[in-house]
Amino acid sequence: MSVTPTQAGGPVRPRLDPLPPTEPEIHEGLPPGWGAGLAGRLAFWLAVAFSLFQLWAAAYGTLPSQIVRAMHVAFLLLLGFGLVGNLVAKTRGGQLFFWGLGVLGFCTGLYQWMEYNDLIRRTGFLNQADLIMGTVLIVLVFDGARRLMGWPLAVIAGVFLAYCFLGQHLPAPFIHRGYDFDQIVEHFAFGTEGIYGSPIYVSSAYIFIFVVFAAFLERAGMLNLFNDFALGMVGARRGGPAQVAVLSSALMGTISGSGVANVVASGQFTIPMMKKSGFKPAFAGGVEATASMGGQIMPPVMGAVAFIMAETLNVPYAAVVQAAIVPAVLYFGVVFWMVWLQSGRDDLKGLAKSSLPNPWHAVRDQWPLVLPLAALVYLLFAGYTPIFAGTMGLALVTVLILGAPLAAMIGPFAFRMVFWIALGLAAASFLRFGVDLLMIVIVGLILACAAFKGTRPTIGIIRDALAQGARNALPVGMACAIVGIVIGTLTLTGIASTFIGAIIAIGQNNLFLSLVLTMLTCLVLGMGIPTIPNYIITSSLAGPALLELGVPLLVSHMFVFYFGIMADLTPPVALACFAAAPIAKSSGLKISMQAIRLAAAGFIIPFMAVYTPSLMLQDGGPIAEAWGYPVEVVYVLFKTVLGVGMGGIAVVSYLWDRTTLAERGLALAAAVSLILAMPWTDQAGFALAAVFLVVHWLRTRRARVAA
């Protein structure tokens, strides 16, 4: 069900409809649904309980962090194995087996909770029960990750775990001193550097909250607002349907944590529209995949990596957003540019303007949906913690959903406005009086909705969003749990220093080669694992090495992050492209080839940022010293835009008309010159770009006159 505002503007009124049949539930690794009968209802309510536990822990924070992490993993295992039993198991016995594994996994969390103080005292001297529960936890995390995320991530983590047991038998430089079974189990299952390490902390503290927040906004109708706004803004322009796909995916990326999920959600609407307008199926799928993956670099959520990066680097969240904002805008700007060029080459027009919604009417009619997102952004940039900001944003969207049907029952418009103003002031009072008052407001709204028959279905929206948010968080949470094995291996054995030393040795002679090796590592890892674990693993290895080579730490982490995203567009795996394949009815490989063309900026911008960090609004270089920092930022931005613009023309072979081979060569030479950071290449690039523009304009002008 969804809540949408009234068409008359002002306060929202409820429209309690089933979700459109074309909008699928987003899952990774599991079929849709919760399962049949009692087991299905049990899984559904477990998901609700999971969300409520996490929200309570985030809002009040009375439990020690280790217990919250343990219970987070416990719920992941219980719900994950329960859904595997309900949706994958073929027999009743198989269903009971998986539920048994889930209960056993949940017991590992309860054991950590009940034995918390004693486990601290037994550090280094675990008893037999501790070792059994720790071993069970490690085995279940591997099996759960394999079933929810597939084999690649489990195999990678398994190789790292095997290295802990067998590394003492390897030749130098990979040899280590060897570790006992007890020491390995304690490190991975009870400390804060293994399964319960930094990734699972971020999952339990930040990611889960924002995934649930996105689920609430989607249930409230935010996806419809994004689509209406994108249609009205760019639908009538050249290549309008593809431009709509880019803009709606960029907007959706501000709240969603999964690029693949964006493909499935937005693609159901945008891909058929593009195909109907004349775009080839592979190109339509490539546009959607490229735009949806780009949503992960669009603040404020940035696929949840922003919060992991801020935690890892111990920098404010605002610093991460500052580094990401310009490259994110450039990424989508280039995709718009590539679509515009391809549409001109294929002579594809926009949609009829009379058939499109007015974008500002869509905002006017549905403006309340923007308020929770605006509050979230304000709180994040005002210095509040992501936990607080996410929890409060979620609470505000809950107030909006619950208040809508109650406001609709109030007759006169003036009274409805008084109701909304009073409710808004009460909700905003949390900044002064704390979270308790906001919780009282929400409980009061729930009781009020329960009192009237016509408003009771709204409570179901909240219940369903809580359950769906927990389910959407499953793959991310399990990925963070098993990637703790990798991070734990790095800290236990010190193998990271060997890898770092190798990169430094290469980079002393050629920084560019070190960057290429880091890029290839990200792309290869990304063939089988999602962006978040890819970023965590690669940044742990390459980040410190690039810092030693003079690359600012935040820039090096952003470099790794960008190529983790590009991996989902790069053959042969290209998860985002294969997710778009059944919708586009085209080959995932063909879609991937189109996506690489469209995402050229995603491959170029990280390299440019390393050599000119001001592109990510970091420290300036010689231009800043001579002319001031703003001048350098403007210059670098202009150079980058012109460079990737020329590159797009060379790839598509079109600007005002199809380019000749010589003109295409000029555009490519200009792009390469502007991208390189060598003496005189900028000047050569500007000159080549000017020559291309003059030659191409004169030729196309003569052709038009002759025609």
Contact call for residues 255 and 375 (beta carbons, < 8 A): no
Question: For the range 581-589, what are the long-range contacts, defined as Cβ-Cβ under 8 Å and sequence gap of 24 or more?
Answer: 581/285, 583/263, 583/264, 583/267, 583/268, 583/271, 583/272, 583/285, 583/288, 584/267, 584/271, 584/275, 584/281, 584/282, 584/284, 584/285, 584/288, 585/281, 586/280, 586/281, 586/282, 586/284, 586/285, 587/282
Cα 76 versus chain centre, distance: 19
DSSP state of 573: T
Cα 232 versus chain centre, distance: 26
Counting as low any pLDDT under 70, the low residues of the chain are: 1-29, 253-261, 264-265, 301-304, 355, 430-431, 500, 503-504, 507-509, 525-530, 572-575, 601-602, 677-679, 707
Q: How far apart are CA 463 and CA 194, in angstroms?
A: 33
Joined together, the tokens standing for residue 631 give 């001048």
Query: 494 in helix, strand or coil?
Result: coil
Q: How far apart are CA 1 and CA 14, in angstroms?
A: 10
- Tell me the angle at which helices 128-149 and 92-114 cross, rounded to the nearest 10 degrees: 130
Cis preceding-peptide flag for 571 (omega within 30 of 0): no
pLDDT in tens, 462-511: 999 999 889 988 887 888 888 888 888 888 887 777 776 776 677 666 77
Q: How far apart are CA 574 and CA 598, in angstroms?
A: 14
Q: How far apart are CA 454 and CA 436, in angstroms?
A: 28
pLDDT in tens, 644-693: 888 888 888 888 888 888 888 888 888 888 877 666 788 888 888 899 88
Residues for the chain: how many in total?
Answer: 707
Joined together, the tokens standing for residue 476 give 């991310």
Give the count of beta carbons closer than 10 Å to the beta carbon of residue 146.
19
* pLDDT score at 444: 86
Helical (H) or strand (E) element with 291? helix 281-294
Q: How far apart are CA 304 and CA 256, in angstroms?
A: 9
Helical (H) or strand (E) element with 56? helix 37-60
Q: How far apart are CA 415 and CA 406, in angstroms?
A: 12
Give the count of beta carbons closer than 10 Å to the beta carbon of residue 159.
12
Contacts of 40 (CB under 8 A, 6+ apart): 33, 34, 86
CA–CA distances in Å: residue 697 to residues 87, 346, 658: 60, 19, 11
Q: How far apart are the first and last CA of the chain?
A: 56
Q: How far apart are CA 121 and CA 63, in angstroms?
A: 18
Query: 658 in helix, strand or coil?
Result: strand
Instruction: To the nearest 10°, report the CA torsion of 221, 223, 226, 228.
Output: -70
pLDDT in tens, 201-259: 888 887 788 888 878 887 877 777 877 787 777 777 777 778 887 887 777 766 665 66
Of 192, 169, 235, 215, the closest CA to residue 487 belongs to 192
Q: How far apart are CA 318 and CA 309, in angstroms?
A: 11
Contacts of 412 (CB under 8 A, 6+ apart): none
* pLDDT score at 20: 37
Amino acid identity of 641? V
Contacts of 203 (CB under 8 A, 6+ apart): 72, 473, 476, 477, 480, 481
3-state secondary structure string, 390-439? Answer: HHHHHHHHHHHHHHHHHHHCCCCHHHHHHHHHHHHHHHHCHHHHCHHHHH
What is the phi/psi pair of residue 409, to 5°? -80, -10
Domain spans in the chain, listed from the N-terminal domain onward: 37-191, 630-706
Q: How far apart are CA 429 and CA 433, in angstroms?
A: 6
Strands (E), 250-328: none
Work out the burial of residue 180: count CB atoms within 10 Å of its CB; fewer than 13 is exposed, 13-18 middle, 19 or more buried: exposed
Q: How far apart are CA 336 and CA 432, in angstroms?
A: 43
Q: How far apart are CA 274 and CA 270, in angstroms?
A: 6
Joined together, the tokens standing for residue 490 give 């790095």
Q: How far apart are CA 343 and CA 583, in angstroms?
A: 21
Q: How far apart are CA 267 and CA 273, in angstroms?
A: 9
